[in-house]
Structures are given as structure tokens and as C-alpha cells.
Amino acid sequence: MIRLENLRLGYGPRLLVEQASATLPAGSLTALLGRNGSGKSTLLRALIGQEKPQAGSIRLNGQPLSRLTPETMARTVAFVNTERVRVANLRCKDVVALGRAPYTNWIGRMQAQDETVVYQALEQTGMTDYAERTMDRMSDGECQRIMIARALAQQTPIILLDEPTSFLDLPNRYGLGKLLAQLAHEQNKCIFFSTHELDIALSLCDAVALIDRPVLHYRPTADLIQSGLLDKVFGDSLRLNGNLSVNGNGDLSPKPIAR
């Protein structure tokens, strides 16, 4: 669970988010939306302790973020950024094994139970057959699944992702979104990801956190669609998105995505 209490984020006089309060429960998939420069990445960095709030507090699994030790933090939150991983001769199973770092012994040696967790993570992301393949010989979508497998191997109750669908085509974007929803619901994880893909967010997520500087709106997806906030924040760009439509009541809704 993630809880924000009267959170304020910004850089000097530039205010991004003010008095933001929200509770993201376990077992849910939440999308973080907002225009470029609205503070999405800053909020995610704040949740992993890389940005200090100007005011307010963050709680992770009931514990104040400010009091978590690095070891406890590593067992509470896994973070997947948007950077491509293309390291020659680095096997997929070795990348996933990095997620076991908070649990290995003092010399970092993998035990039998760690190996089991790694292969379970590969299986959960559909990447078992890629275990021996090197990262420089894989597609962007395959690499992103491996990075999610690494986060699963970390066995944290919270997973954060910054633009996980970047560089992916539509089928892979939707497939990745479905995977995140499945992991959240079946493993009772709190998964929170930033995205520009409104169609994915509105069709697959349980809730949406929308930054309309400096306000953070957090609502169930259906409520947000009906609220008119998307139209207020994104305006005409919504009508230019081929995967969104306006229904008979004038409300925005995602078009069905071909599976």
C-alpha cells in the first residue's frame, strides 16, 4: 500500500504537486497520468526516496518512508525505469537474479531458494525460454518483461514503473499492461506506473492518479472518465488519439483494443 498525506513536491518556487493525499491499496494497478513536465517522474522518485518532499509524508506498507532503512526499502519497493538495457553477454536469468540482492548472503551468493524465485519470476512473465539468452539479442518488449521479472524476484509488495510501455508497439503495450494488471490482482501487489498511453490506462487500470498541476486527482478509473478531468488536462489531444472516443453522453472512453 502507498499512502500520500498532504504531499508537496517542487523545485524551489516551481510547484508540481500540493496537498496531495491518496491511498493506493494492495492488489491494485494504478496509472499516473499528466502532461509533460507535470511531475510524474518526480513523484515516482519521491516514492523511492530520491526526491525529498517540501511538505507532507509518504507511507509504504504503513511505514513512514523517511524511517525505512536501505535494506527495508529494498524489500518494500521495486523500481523499473524506462531505460533500455542492452548489455552484451548478460544473460536474462542473471539480470533477474539481481533482484535477489536484498536477500543473498554477505558475499552475494545465490542459494537454492533464490534460484527458485528467479525461475518463478521468469515463468510469471512468460520469459522462461529466454533465461539463457543475452539482453543484447532481444526486442524492447522482451527486455521490459525481463526487467519486470527482476522486480518480481525482489519480492516486494510495491512495484513502481516509469513509462514501462515506451518504445513498444501497440500489441506489446497492451500485453505489458495486461501482465501488470494480472500481477497486481493475482499476487496482491500495489503496482503504480507512469504513462502517456491513455487507452492502456483507461482500459486496464483499477484507478488513475492524474496530475493537474498542482493538484493530484486520484479516482477509480470509471469515475475519472466521467469526471471531465481528462478533457480539462489534455484537451484536444484526446480527440486526436485514435484509441479514445466520445460516447453518446459526451464522456471519453477507450475504444476496444484488438487482442
Single out the residue of 233, 162, 150, 228 nearest to residue 191, CA to CA.
162
pTM for the full model? Answer: 0.89
Predicted local confidence at residue 106, as pLDDT: 58
Predicted local confidence at residue 24, as pLDDT: 98
Predicted local confidence at residue 249, as pLDDT: 43
- Dist CA 213 CA 233 (whole Å): 9
Predicted local confidence at residue 236, as pLDDT: 61
Predicted local confidence at residue 257, as pLDDT: 47
Predicted local confidence at residue 1, as pLDDT: 95
Mapping DSSP onto H, E and C, the string for the chain reads CEEEEEEEEEECCEEEEEEEEEEECCCEEEEEEECCCCCHHHHHHHHCCCCCCCEEEEEECCEEHHHCCHHHHHCCEEEECCCCCCCCCCEHHHHHHHHHCCCCCCCCCCCHHHHHHHHHHHHHCCCHHHCCCEHHHCCHHHHHHHHHHHHHHCCCCEEEEECCCCCCCHHHHHHHHHHHHHHHHHHCCEEEEECCCHHHHHHHCCEEEEEECCEEEEEEHHHHHHHCHHHHHHCCHHHHCCCEEECCCCCEEECCCCC
* pLDDT tens digit sequence for 133-176: 998 888 888 888 999 999 999 999 999 999 998 878 888 888 99
| Positive/negative CA dihedral, 142, 244, 238, 219 | negative
Predicted local confidence at residue 80, as pLDDT: 94
| Backbone torsions φ then ψ of 4, nearest 5 degrees | -105, 135
Residue numbers of the chain with a pLDDT score lower than 70: 84, 105-108, 236-259
The set of residues, in sequence order, having a beta carbon less than 8 Å from that of 90 and lying 6+ positions away, is 134, 135, 136
